[in-house]
Structures are given as structure tokens and as C-alpha cells.
Structure 1
Amino acid sequence: MGAVPWEPAFLHDVVRLGEPGAARARLAELTGELDGPLPALYLRHATALARRDGRALEAVAAEFAALGATLHAAEAVSQASVAHRETGRMDSARRCAWRAAEWTAACQGARTAALDLEHARVLTRREYQIVLRAARGETNPQIATALGIAPRTVGNHLYRSYEKLGISGRAELPRLFGDLTRSERG
């Protein structure tokens, strides 16, 4: 059976919907038949998801992000968060959850089946803004002034964010967001 240009994208949709086994064999065939990075990346995504390999899913997410495929990156890192949580790697799960929140926020509120795996854990755009400022050391009143909201609203957003991120409070934010806050300052 010959390759058609749209087939890898269709098969990747099957992977994104949570059925990597249904697409892996054909994606493997297409990787050898079609040019470009996507067929092989789709295959790596299917393989990592089928194995519930959090680290491999993170690598796939980084590759999607490098290609500018932010929605696919958000989905893969969301799946990585779930895989890490299933194996008890909670720090990795939280790190992936906030990365999923960051990339999802860049997708203007997109909702997909893969993102819905973490729907209760993904920060909203506003929660992400507030958590990032708190991780930098800003106080609730400082954050409120910068964003034009009440300090109590900041506190409410932080409380919900802590639950979503699986942390107990503000002191844990720099550990989760440290790399991101340092890169934005420099």
C-alpha cells in the first residue's frame, strides 16, 4: 500500500486520541516511505505513549515545540505528566503539568482529548501568570497591582494553582518554575 501525504497526520490523530497501538505499525511503514521529520516524530510519540514512557513523551514534546507544533507539544507533555504520576515520579509529573499549562495557554484555550487527561491540573492563563510572578518572589499585592486585580483574587488563584500542581504552597513554586523564571530575567 502506497503512502498518501495526509495519512501520517490522520494516524497521529489516532495516537492523540489515546490509541497508539492502532497506528504504530503503519506509522513505522510510513517513516521509511515519506520525507520530513513528522512521520518519524509521530512514530516516536505513538511508541512512547504505548509504553507510558514519561521521559520519552517529554522528548517528543520538546521536538514538537522546536517545530512550532505547540498544541502537539502540550498534548505530549500532558501525557508525560500522567505517565510520570502513574510511576510515582511526582516532581516530574508536576513539572510536565506546568509545561503543559504554559504551552496550552499559548494555544488560546484549545481543548483536546490529550489535554483533557490533565484538565483539572492544567493552569488557566491567569493562574499561570500569577504563579510565575509568585515564583519570582512577588507578593500578592505586587501581583495584584501588576495585573489590575484584587490581592484576594491573587490568593484565590494561587490556592487553586497549588491544588492543580500538587504542591502545598508558595515556597515550592521556585522549584517548579525556577528554570523558567531565570530565563525570563536574563
Structure 2
Amino acid sequence: MRRTTQAEIDDMRARGFDAETIRQAEFSEKRTAVADSLCDKVAEAFANVKLGDGVGLFEGQAIDNYETAEVRQQMRKKDEKEVWSQIESKHLNACHSSLSFFDSLGMRFHLPAFIVADLKGDYGMGMEFTLTHLDDYNRKKFGLLSPQQRQVVREYLQFLRQDPDSEFYYDDIDRALNEYWKELE
């Protein structure tokens, strides 16, 4: 993703660009520094998390496609199980529906990869829905997150709350921040 410089933003103002375009450019300009910092926090909070027996990325796609147990096992062999940061963004994009099929182990392992890819501008689907539409079934998927991991997710949602591209989800993000992802006391 290309970063918009302050000089370019000043030029946009001088040339009479509309306020919304300037707001988006300003967010883009500060997004990079905040995103980099959040990526570091994600890496620290989720360091050494392994998949274990959890549902993997390709396995989740097999579940979504109603594949047989045999095909599901074949797909699982393709899954990264040890280092979430080695999962390629192209696979996250291709297997985005796996988010709906992860168990709590699979979610804890894959969530940081999705968040970092999104922060870097490499994930095209967005994480707002996954992190804000939390019925009892979906809440269980986040049940293994440590307080530090939950705090990183909270900071990521606060970041999305400032992103003009997430404007459609602002109410959902606010609700999720005040209910499920509230600060730990």
C-alpha cells in the first residue's frame, strides 16, 4: 500500500479536494506508523502459538466445501501448523471463509495472520464482521485468547474504528468494543 505524504495532503487541500478525500488521505498517512506498531504487538502477543489439533486454513476450506473426511485430512496436510507468520496472504485471501469454520485453537493460531495481513494491506476481505458479530458460538472461538491477545484485538478494532474504509461497521465495532472486547479489569 502506498503511503500518502503530508505534502500530498497539503497539495490536495490547496487544490480544493473534498473533505472526505482529505480525511481518507490523512488516515492513510498515519495508518502506516500505527499499523506497524500494531503488527509488532500482534507478533509479541501471539508468539509461539501453534495450531495443535485445531482446524487449519485449508482444512477449513474443505469443511466449507462439504468435503469428505478423507479430503479434509488431505487438505490438513497442506496447513501451516507451527508458525502463523509464515502463512502467505494469498492463502488467507483464498481461504477467507475458513474464519467461519475454525475452532478455538484454529482461531487463536490464524487470527494474528489475518490481522497482520489486513494491517499491511494484503488481506482484501476485512476482519470487521468476524470480530463484531459474536453470538455464543462465535464467542467460543475466541475463548482461548490470553488477556494480552484480547487487548491486541481490542487495539486493532479501535484502529479499524478510525479507518474510513470500515465506516459501515462503526456501530458494530463500538458495540463489540463495549461488550465482548471491553478492557479487562
TM range (shorter): 0.3 to 0.5
Higher relative contact order (CA 8 A, sep 6+): 2
TM-score (norm. length: structure 2): 0.35
